[in-house]
Amino acid sequence: MIRIALFIFIGSVVWLMGRIACQNAQEAQEKSTFPPMKEKGHFVQCAYCDTHIPERESIQKGNTHFCCEQHRQLYRG
Ligand SMILES: [Zn+2]
């Protein structure tokens, strides 16, 4: 009889831990649904080679963006 009680006890502990793990996984999933691009900022395209680069790392000339100083100089148009 004590074996059955022990079995039920272990079973309920495993079930409870499974529930906690499931809740944690759900919370982590909810957090990961936030757009990851928000932190990195806006991405722009190099007018010369079409490479996508973060806006703050780009070289800007008017409304045109470039990935490096060399492409800014090479660009005509
Ligand atoms: Zn470029």
Q: Which of 59, 63, 62 lies closest to 73 in space, CA to CA? A: 59
39 CA to centre of ligand 1 in angstroms: 23
Cβ neighbors of 42 (< 8 A, separation 6 or more) are 54, 55
Q: What is the pTM of this model?
A: 0.48
Residues less than 5 Å from ion ligand 1, measured at CB: 46, 48-49, 51, 67, 71
pLDDT digits (tens, 9 = 90+) for 9-63: 778 878 888 887 888 787 777 776 655 545 557 999 999 999 999 999 999 999 9
Distance CA 8, CA 11 (A): 5
> Is the separation of the CB atoms in 12 and 6 below 8 Å?
no
